[in-house]
Chain A
């Protein structure tokens, strides 16, 4: 079983819509959760981190964490063509040392 699973997509949404990206993780001891955006040919860029259950909002981005369901999501409101990228979900587990586990990413296309 993969540590972190994401729907690879591609996910297409029209400009101005809400894009919803989902991620599940396998281990309940995971403590820290991150969303990265990666444009083609570029390195991952941190856009959100979340550590406790509930929602965390930052501008047009909202991260949602549900530890009981082992589920973390990212909502992008008012999607823009510049949001078109691959979004990587990452989790950090302290019990295995300073280990980060990444999903394979979800490709998002925002259609003008």
Chain B
């Protein structure tokens, strides 16, 4: 247990559905991240939030929409996804100290299948 929780753990959705992934961290960190992990590929950083402000958006399609209402909660809203979006979606958090060292702690992930 890393102190980062994610729900749901598994999600199957059709291409016309709308769903949301939720992440919550109990570590007192000020930065949160969404990653996508597909088979045979490196972890892909999708979004970064520092102090609730989005600081990175790595050319992610608009069918993925993040929301960070406070430093402890992060959402990923999904709509009109494609089958190639099926993957493990990981949330992580870290303490941004403005200098060096950003040890990230991951949640258990949401296994998403788009049918």
Residues of A within 8 A of B (CB): 2, 4, 31-32, 34, 36, 42-46, 49, 51, 88, 90, 92, 94, 97-105
Contacts and interface: CB of A to CB of B under 8 A. Distances in A.
Interface stretch (B65-73, B77-85, B96-104): B96-104
Contacts of B102: 32, 92, 98, 100
Contacts of B27: none
Contacts of B108: 42-43
Contacts of B105: 46
27 contacts: A4-B42, A32-B100, A32-B102, A34-B104, A36-B106, A42-B109, A43-B88, A43-B90, A43-B107, A43-B109, A46-B106, A49-B103, A90-B104, A97-B48, A97-B55, A98-B50, A98-B96, A98-B102, A99-B45, A99-B48, A99-B56, A100-B43, A101-B45, A104-B40, A104-B41, A104-B42, A105-B42
A93 B43 CA distance: 16
Rank and list the top 5 A-B pairs by shortest CB-CB distance, nearest first: A102-B43, A43-B106, A102-B42, A43-B109, A104-B42
Contacts, number: 62
B74 interface: no
Contacts of B50: 98
B2 interface: yes
A96 B98 CA distance: 13
Interface of B: 2, 31, 33, 40-43, 45, 48, 50, 55-56, 88, 90, 96, 100-109
A66 B24 CA distance: 36
Which of A45, A51, A101, A102 has the largest count of B CB atoms less than 10 A from its CB? A102
A36 B90 CA distance: 14
Given A34-B104, A49-B103, A97 B42 contact: no
A100 B104 contact: yes
Which of B96, B102, B105 has the largest count of A CB atoms less than 10 A from its CB? B102
Contacts of A36: 106
